[in-house]
């Protein structure tokens, strides 16, 4: 979101999911939607069945990689070099969209100068992608047609996450693939309604509708609407800064809303130390979690099906959620809990429902959603921007101009991950999700059927690495980083390249985040979950999965 806001002026998916019916070529980088976004994965399989082409860039041989017209087995952490190499070929072979670049972008010369040094042979040395495959990918994507880029956390979960998204935006603008149906730049967001949370201002630097807190006019507007004085004029803290602040007392109160930080943050041992050091922790959730153990107060919240409100999907689509059943016990809707806390702090908020909050506040204060009213949220909902009540919503962004005016071509150099393999830790650990569970299993772990389908974590390793270490399939092994060690069964599979270990973070004792590196992107402070150095040890049978 940060990078697309800088390059296009709007930090959101540019196209609609339904556009997959019109897309001629899918350029899939750092995403395995079959497991992480299965409904979108299904649509891409359907598009392939009708004849759409597919390029997959992924170290693992996924199901989509098997169906791809071109699968590029890239080395983890080298995407920026690869994308710069693609642009080098596109410029060298005069495949770029000169008219689009000249009329709709700026700073082309800077990009051109930077990508000159990313020659195909240099890129092959960095990424492991053969020169002929690099050239084939560049020619396929730059070819005439409605060609779309899709990416996931395999792009953003690096210290260079924002650089990677800028590079994808550069590529799409260089080839004129933005602002058309079936094309564009399409980030697959990490969680349900993460787009909606950001839209509502659940970020440290903006009010609802992405109006910056350091903009005096925006502050004045919200101060008047909310009946307060002197709203902050500087961005607040991000999650890693909040966690670190617990140990030195700069953060006195930590309010954790629907997040299981004790499992999702890198280097769990350190995160638990910080939570134990906190002066006061409030957890607001639907279930007890590993994080609620540290709470001084727990607010029981209503689940999604016990609430009335809205969700906003990756494609900017706002949809109604209607109460299907009453919340159990003392559980209350989220907005009600916040309102009661505000009341005890001296503020009387007038809204008595989610509908009133939306119609009387959000649509009044966020210009991009001014035309979105509850009465209009029927059927498939609406995609913002919808600036007035006659507007049908916007399926495709940036058709005639970018939100920022001209698209900003932003050249970035490749830098390696923060932690690379060495003699002591010779393998790269990359992490992700498996199909049958979600995040830390706060919800899916309560389903007996899902636990039957996947009841424990494994470490996926290549046959060559298993042979070198004399490890058998299903044998218990230790996976160790500089931060901790977990014990899991080895899953030997040729889907994993030599030198890489792949794990998920669903199961507590074998959670990959005991191992992952707390190194962060400097702009978003997103952690580098996708690359850290580990070693594997034969340990025989173990009952405790972690030390």
Taking CA 302 as the corner, what is the angle to CA 298 and CA 305, rounded to the nearest 5 degrees?
155
> 260 is written with which tokens?
């299981």
The answer to the question of residue 74 being in a domain is: yes
283's enclosing H/E stretch is strand 280-285
Q: Report the C-alpha gap between 284 and 334 in whole angstroms.
A: 8
Helix 79-92, helix 131-142: angle, nearest 10: 70
For residues 202 and 278, membership in a common domain is answered with yes
Distance of CA 403 to the CA centre of its chain: 22
Q: Report the C-alpha gap between 371 and 380 in whole angstroms.
A: 15
| C-alpha separations of 140 from 181, 228, 314, 390, 496 in Å | 18, 55, 26, 40, 26
The answer to the question of residue 409 being in a domain is: no
The answer to the question of residue 420 being in a domain is: no
Could you tell me the strand order of the sheet in which 309-312 lies?
309-312, 317-321, 382-383
For residues 437 and 379, membership in a common domain is answered with no
What's this model's pTM, rounded to 2 decimal places?
Answer: 0.94
For residues 165 and 69, membership in a common domain is answered with yes
The answer to the question of residue 20 being in a domain is: yes
φ, ψ (nearest 5 deg) of residue 220: -60, -45
Q: Report the C-alpha gap between 419 and 173 in whole angstroms.
A: 32
For residues 328 and 442, membership in a common domain is answered with no
Q: Report the C-alpha gap between 80 and 333 in whole angstroms.
A: 43
For residues 369 and 234, membership in a common domain is answered with yes
For residues 127 and 210, membership in a common domain is answered with no
Reported residue count of the chain is: 547
Work out how many domains the chain is built from and give that number.
3
For residues 168 and 217, membership in a common domain is answered with no
Q: Report the C-alpha gap between 333 and 318 in whole angstroms.
A: 19
Domain end among 347, 362, 383: 383
Q: What is the CA radius of gyration of the chain?
A: 24
For residues 378 and 239, membership in a common domain is answered with yes
Q: Is the dihedral of CA 175, 177, 183, 185 positive or negative?
A: positive
Strands 25-29 and 147-151: parallel
The answer to the question of residue 395 being in a domain is: no
Contact assessment for residue 131 and residue 120, using Cβ atoms and an 8 Å cutoff: yes
- Per residue, the 3-state secondary structure of 29-61, as one string, reads ECCCHHHHCHHHHHHHHHHHHCCCEEEEECCCC
Contacts of 278 (CB under 8 A, 6+ apart): 246, 251, 254, 294
Domain end among 127, 156, 188: 188
Contact assessment for residue 183 and residue 395, using Cβ atoms and an 8 Å cutoff: no
Q: Report the C-alpha gap between 366 and 184 in whole angstroms.
A: 24
Contact assessment for residue 199 and residue 369, using Cβ atoms and an 8 Å cutoff: yes
Q: Dmax over Cα atoms in the chain, in whole Å?
A: 68
Contact assessment for residue 249 and residue 237, using Cβ atoms and an 8 Å cutoff: no
Q: Report the C-alpha gap between 100 and 97 in whole angstroms.
A: 6
First to last CA, the chain: 37
Alpha-helix runs per DSSP H in 286-416: 334-344, 354-357, 363-365
> 355 is written with which tokens?
């509908």
Q: Report the C-alpha gap between 207 and 540 in whole angstroms.
A: 54
Contacts of 191 (CB under 8 A, 6+ apart): 439
For residues 339 and 377, membership in a common domain is answered with yes
Domain end among 356, 383, 410: 383
The answer to the question of residue 397 being in a domain is: no
- CATH code assigned at 181: 3.40.228.10
Contact assessment for residue 274 and residue 280, using Cβ atoms and an 8 Å cutoff: no
Contact assessment for residue 62 and residue 495, using Cβ atoms and an 8 Å cutoff: yes
Q: Report the C-alpha gap between 480 and 471 in whole angstroms.
A: 15
**Per-residue pLDDT tens digits of the chain, which is 547 residues long:** 788 888 998 889 999 999 999 999 999 999 999 999 999 999 999 999 999 999 999 999 999 999 999 999 999 999 999 999 999 999 999 999 999 999 999 999 999 999 999 999 999 999 999 999 999 999 999 999 999 999 998 999 999 999 999 999 999 999 999 999 999 999 998 888 899 999 999 999 999 999 999 999 999 999 999 999 999 999 999 999 999 999 999 999 999 999 999 999 999 999 999 999 999 999 999 999 999 999 999 999 999 999 999 999 999 999 999 999 999 999 999 999 999 999 999 999 999 999 999 999 999 999 999 999 999 998 999 999 999 999 999 999 999 999 989 999 999 999 999 999 999 999 999 999 999 998 899 999 999 999 999 999 999 999 999 999 999 999 999 999 999 999 999 999 999 999 999 999 999 999 999 999 999 999 999 999 999 999 999 986 554 555 4
For residues 361 and 460, membership in a common domain is answered with no
The answer to the question of residue 431 being in a domain is: yes
Q: On the CB side of 480, how many CA atoms lie within 13 Å of its CA?
A: 11
The answer to the question of residue 391 being in a domain is: no
For residues 378 and 241, membership in a common domain is answered with yes
Q: Report the C-alpha gap between 258 and 398 in whole angstroms.
A: 33
- CATH code assigned at 335: 3.40.50.740
Q: Report the C-alpha gap between 369 and 384 in whole angstroms.
A: 6
Contacts of 103 (CB under 8 A, 6+ apart): none
Helix 131-142, helix 120-127: angle, nearest 10: 110
Q: Report the C-alpha gap between 214 and 409 in whole angstroms.
A: 25
For residues 120 and 221, membership in a common domain is answered with no
Distance of CA 513 to the CA centre of its chain: 16
Contacts of 79 (CB under 8 A, 6+ apart): 29, 30, 57, 155, 164, 167
- CATH code assigned at 438: 2.40.40.20
- For residue 486, what are the domain limits? 427-538
Contact assessment for residue 485 and residue 532, using Cβ atoms and an 8 Å cutoff: no
């Amino acid at each position: 979101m940060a990078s697309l806001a800088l390059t296009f002026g709007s930090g959101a998916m540019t196209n609609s999911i339904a556009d997959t019916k019109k897309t001629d070529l899918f350029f899939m980088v750092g995403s395995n939607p079959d497991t992480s976004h299965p409904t979108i994965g299904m649509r891409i399989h359907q598009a392939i069945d009708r004849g759409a082409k597919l390029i997959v860039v992924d170290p693992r041989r996924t199901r989509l990689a098997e169906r791809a017209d071109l699968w590029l087995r890239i080395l983890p952490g080298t995407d920026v070099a690869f994308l710069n190499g693609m642009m080098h070929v596109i410029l060298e072979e005069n495949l770029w969209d000169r008219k689009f670049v000249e009329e709709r972008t700026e700073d082309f010369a800077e990009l051109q100068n930077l990508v000159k040094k990313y020659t195909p042979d240099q890129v092959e040395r960095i990424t492991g992608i053969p020169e002929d495959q690099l050239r084939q990918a560049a020619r396929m994507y730059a070819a005439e047609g409605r060609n779309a880029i899709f990416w996931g956390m395999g792009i953003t979960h690096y210290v260079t996450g924002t650089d990677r998204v800028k590079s994808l935006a550069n590529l799409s603008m260089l080839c004129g693939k933005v602002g058309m149906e079936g094309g564009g730049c399409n980030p697959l967001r990490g969680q349900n309604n993460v787009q909606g949370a950001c839209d509502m201002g659940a970020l440290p630097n903006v009010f609802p509708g992405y109006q910056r807190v350091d903009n005096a006019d925006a502050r004045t507007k919200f101060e008047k609407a909310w009946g307060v004085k002197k709203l902050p004029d500087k961005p607040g803290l991000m999650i890693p800064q909040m966690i670190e602040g617990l140990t030195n007392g700069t953060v006195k109160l930590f309010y954790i809303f629907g997040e299981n930080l004790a499992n999702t943050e890198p280097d769990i041992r350190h995160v638990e130390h910080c939570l134990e050091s906190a002066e006061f922790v409030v957890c607001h959730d639907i279930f007890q979690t590993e994080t609620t153990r540290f709470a001084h107060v727990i607010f029981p919240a209503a689940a999604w099906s016990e609430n009335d409100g809205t969700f906003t999907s990756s494609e900017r689509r706002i949809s109604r959620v209607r109460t299907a059943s009453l919340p159990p016990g003392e559980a209350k809707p989220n907005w009600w809990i916040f309102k009661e806390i505000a009341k005890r702090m001296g503020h009387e908020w007038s809204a008595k429902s989610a509908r009133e909050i939306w119609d009387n506040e959000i649509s009044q204060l966020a210009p991009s959603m001014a035309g979105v009213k509850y009465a209009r949220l029927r059927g498939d909902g609406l995609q913002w921007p919808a600036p007035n009540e006659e507007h049908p919503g916007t399926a495709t962004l940036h058709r005639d101009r970018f939100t920022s005016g001209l698209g900003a071509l932003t050249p970035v150099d490749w830098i390696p991950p923060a932690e690379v393999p060495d003699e002591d830790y010779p393998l790269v650990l990359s992490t992700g999700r498996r199909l049958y569970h979600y995040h830390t299993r706060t919800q899916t772990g309560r389903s007996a059927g899902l636990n039957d389908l996947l009841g424990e974590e494994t470490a996926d390793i290549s046959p060559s690495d298993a042979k070198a270490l004399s490890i058998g399939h299903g044998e218990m092994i230790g996976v160790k980083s500089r931060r901790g060690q977990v014990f899991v069964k080895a899953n030997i599979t040729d889907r994993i390249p030599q030198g890489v270990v792949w794990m998920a973070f669903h199961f507590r004792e074998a959670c990959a985040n005991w191992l992952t590196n707390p190194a962060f992107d400097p702009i978003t402070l997103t952690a580098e979950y996708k690359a850290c150095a580990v070693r594997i040890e034969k340990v025989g049978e173990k009952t405790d999965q972690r030390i």
